[in-house]
Structure 1
């Protein structure tokens, strides 16, 4: 990678040291041009007319995403965010009293709330699979928990609260052998490193555009394996997802199109397509190697500092790094970093409920570099945190 050229093509790198890619990545000039060009076209000729003119490029976004995750274009549906995409898959499943939903401690907060709501409504049971000694979901325990009552395994690939990478391919082997649907939340993994649905073996996958894919906010997608459609009855029917039969019935559209919504932001859709194409052109393998290497450099640097502790679980870790400075609240640390021009975020115990139950460490400072960050930026961040650990946030 030509890092300097990539940074020149990323305007935000001139203003901030951006280590909040797990929140939202910085847009490239190309993605920004794509979004603004379509908005200008809508203003010039009309929204419907602009969509008609750009229909081929809009439809191609499904193909770009399919290449990214290793599926087919007809298995992709577009959404305005990853949570809506995940909800579309989850709420398409039917549960009854005694059914079990298996998940992990790393599960994202909105997913957990959906599980709890469904359990309250239907009498289904939510079962949290234990972690292994490293903090990953224990696949042996998962296999032992699956029985005739298990109707879904829902797992978050990379949690919002740390650098853990769950063993999703092993989970997929367990679920395929048992014939149980597997819903994967890949919000923090797609765009950060390679995610291949055939290798993982999931039946449904949700992801966002705004994070490591560097797409615009207000974008997300759902991938659904064609063979999994028999398990799913979309919760919402509308003109983009179904066809009226002329009487008092309708038929779902083929493939993942049955999850489509008619009204979308085509400017954002095209922006997402541009961002995905940029990732494909760069090479997602290369992106993953560099992002994770920068994360490891940051984590190793922080581990060497007195008064700073890191809290990432698992045997395989990604670019997300969580830490705590002794004697400083996480929010105060984030504010102090922001004063130095360094963008980070803070983990929220309410967004990682099962992990919070198990570990009393949240909130934590979350730092998440991406491939366009530099080694010098990582080292500067370590230096600033070293000074904060020494002074407790007080200026010298």
Structure 2
């Protein structure tokens, strides 16, 4: 069980606000701030290269911590400036040919979808969006039928979408892809640090994650997992002195393992902070984190659903700490600004990030509130009261909303 008083004491931001924008960027614990700043101070005092050399064991340990977080080996982990670049370096390394197919889901994230469409225009690869089942998650029966047809080059999807609390059944998707011999690329940007993940159970060949969201690390950090034995199938999109060695005037040699997906230059202070964030999560236990976050998400969902004029838009049979909703008569941006005036942070998800999902449901924008384990039941009740007051202040509304 997580000691909530302790983690709140470890989190300076909890003193002054209710932070329900953890799907955007979570509040870092003090140890992440101190680790990052301490590294920067040493760079300022001793020089960047010199500090790197002195801190090499600390930086190497970051790979071990990230690997432990998802049940991988350190050799299968690469660091990146952000999760999108981690995802890009693998995806754009695949050489698609006309007639091949990429299978994805309706709740896919905008950056990934844009990359699919660009590759379709460039190479002639076909993008097929698997439909939803009755619960609103990826339809496994539809996916299995598509995998039975020849020409599937990649299954790629987002574990938890940016626009709601749905948890796609990634392990079941991974099992189907593995049985069909098709590589599986999983965007775990919203699930790393929120859910208890194990790449062996997920059966993913590639997983990408970020530091700034539920992992509570610095912005501008991300990482990549590539299963041992799969690196030859996912050639890095770009190479430099960090991902390869120039072995002779006319030859080069790729770095071993997942390090071949890295670039030489990094924000090492942020990398140190990312390691501290992973260690902090590991000290609490990822199973305990998941249980707490999912429970707070359900509490927030039921609290808001009980308010006349509020509509919840989360899909799926399994849901997480992200809650999407709308308030009758108010735009999501108006709700966000009204809550911000009361020192409550939420975000807004737009159809431009989820063109295969929100617009198909008649939604252009939703409010996104995302709880983390350091939030409290009292904060959830406070937010419910504030939203209830917004509804009352806004006057009568259409009951069909």
Give yes or no for TM over 0.5. Answer: yes
Matched, 1:232 2:238: no
Distance 1:128 1:318 in 2: 23
Q: Is 2:384 the counterpart of 1:382?
A: yes
Question: Runs in 1 of length 4+ with deviation above 3 angstroms?
Answer: none
Report how far residue 227 of structure 1 moved.
Answer: 2.0
Map of 1:61 onto structure 2:
62
**1:316-335 alignment runs, 5 A limit:** 316-335=318-337
> What is the alpha-carbon distance in structure 2 between the residues aligned to residue 182 and residue 212 of structure 1?
23
Find the aligned partners of 1:357 and 1:249 in 2 and give their Cα distance: 50
Does residue 141 of structure 1 match 2:114?
no
Distance 1:267 1:237 in 2: 23
* Counterparts of 1:251 and 1:90, CA distance in 2: 21
DSSP-derived class of the 1:233 partner: coil
What TM-score do the two structures reach when normalised by structure 1? 0.98
Aligned to 1:25: 26
Structure 2 equivalent of residue 70 of structure 1: 71
Range moving further from structure 2, 1-10 or 273-282: 1-10
Q: Which sections of structure 1, spanning at least 5 residues, go unmatched?
A: none
Contact 2:18 2:344 in 1 (8 A): yes
Equivalent position of 2:399 in the other structure: none
Partner SS for 2:357: helix
Moved more, 238-247 or 11-20: 238-247
CA deviation map 1:348-393 (0-9, x unaligned): 1111111134212230000001000010000000111111112228
Residue 162 of structure 1 is matched in structure 2 by 164
Contact 2:351/2:359 (<8 A) preserved: no
Query: Alignment partner of 1:353: what SS?
Result: coil
Once residues 59 and 173 of structure 1 are traced to their aligned partners in structure 2, the CA distance between those partners, rounded to angstroms, is 32
Q: After superposition, where does 1:7-46 map in structure 2 within 5 Å?
A: 7-46=8-47
Give 1:245 deviation, angstroms: 2.2
Contact 1:18 1:344 in 2 (8 A): yes
What's 1:221 paired with?
A: 223
2:196 matched residue in structure 1: 194
Give the conservation status (yes or no) of the 8 Å contact 1:328–1:393: no
User: After superposition, what is the alpha-carbon deviation per residue over 1:146-171, rounded to whole angstroms, capped at 9, x for unaligned?
Assistant: 12211000010000000000000100
Report the Cα offset of residue 326 of structure 1. Answer: 0.3
Q: Who is 2:94 aligned against?
A: 93
What's 1:368 paired with?
A: 370
Deviations 1:86-145 (A, max 9, x none): 101111111011110000011110000000000000011100000001100001100101
Cα distance between partner residues in 2 of 1:386 and 1:283: 35
SS at match of 1:251: strand
Alignment root-mean-square deviation, CA = 1.0
2:368 partner SS: strand
Aligned pairs (5 A) from 1:279-298: 279-298=281-300
Counterpart for residue 242 of structure 1: 244
Equivalent position SS for 1:324: strand
Work out the CA distance in 2 between the residues paired with 1:26 and 1:369.
Answer: 11
Question: Residue 65 of structure 1: SS of its match in structure 2?
Answer: helix
Matched residues in 1 for 2:220 and 2:111: separation?
A: 17
Per-residue Cα deviation, 1:244-303 (whole angstroms, up to 9, x for no partner): 221311111111011111100110000000000000000010011001100000001111
Q: Which runs of 5+ in 2 are unaligned?
A: 397-401
Cα separation, 1, equivalents of 2:200 and 2:100:
27
Q: Is the 8 A contact 2:358 2:365 kept in 1?
A: no
Please give the per-residue CA displacement for 1:73-92, whole angstroms capped at 9, x wherever unaligned: 01000001000001011111
Shift of 1:322: 0.5
The alignment partner of 2:365 has SS state of: coil
- Taking the aligned partners of 2:384 and 2:289, their CA distance within structure 1 comes to 22
Contact 1:323 1:366 in 2 (8 A): yes
Task: Describe the SS at the equivalent of 1:210.
Answer: coil
